[in-house]
């Protein structure tokens, strides 16, 4: 049976939520949804991989900095949405 770790599952859920909301707010075509999802996942993964942390005491379930991951995903999503992909 295939097993997924909690950090991976949380990153996938965050990326899916960010990409879905970005597509509702910024998307024009259905073909943009996979691009938005990949961008959001890359942003979340980048924040997790680099260990970005604000100097605040915030919970990080499964070691994932949720606020930083979401912010970096949205920054990248805004950039990608402006590229008119």
Q: What is the pLDDT of residues 8-56, one digit of tens each?
A: 999 999 999 999 999 999 988 999 999 999 999 999 999 999 988 888 8
pLDDT of residue 7: 93
How sure is the predictor about 4, in pLDDT bands with cuts at 50, 70 and 90?
A: confident
H/E stretch holding 43 reads: helix 32-50
How far does Cα 24 stand from its chain's mean position?
A: 15
Q: pTM to 2 decimals?
A: 0.89
Residues 6+ apart with CB under 8 A from 42: 73, 76
Phi-psi region of 53 (alpha: psi -120 to 50; beta: other; left: phi over 0): beta
């Amino acid at each position: 049976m295939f097993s997924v770790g909690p950090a991976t599952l949380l990153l996938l859920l965050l990326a899916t939520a960010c990409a879905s909301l970005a597509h509702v707010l910024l998307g024009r075509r259905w073909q943009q949804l996979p691009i938005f999802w990949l961008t959001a996942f890359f942003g979340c993964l980048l924040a997790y991989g680099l260990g970005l942390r604000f100097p605040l005491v915030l919970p990080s379930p499964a070691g994932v900095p949720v606020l930083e991951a979401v912010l970096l995903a949205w920054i990248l999503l805004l950039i990608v949405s402006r590229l008119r992909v």
